[in-house]
Amino acid sequence: MTMEEIFKKMQSLIAEQFAMDEEEITMDSSFVDDLNADSVDLVELVMAMEEEFDVGEIEEDELTGLKTVKDCVRFLSSKLGD
């Protein structure tokens, strides 16, 4: 799966999770600053990512560097072996 494909899936997941349009979500969108995510939102998003991308359980220490959509796309890309 390419980074672009991962991004498109992430856009869709985030749009659904945060009740917003996919077009509003960019690679540089910050979960806290741009999407106004709180810790509950982020936990739900991580669970959705685990299910959507079938990457198993994402460890808490792996999440600390995931501040933007781009961070998640890169993380998922490495998990998926691209």
> Which residues are known to be catalytic?
38
End-to-end CA distance of the chain: 7
Distance (Å, whole) CA 30 – CA 44: 16
CA 64-66-69 angle, to 5 degrees, is 170
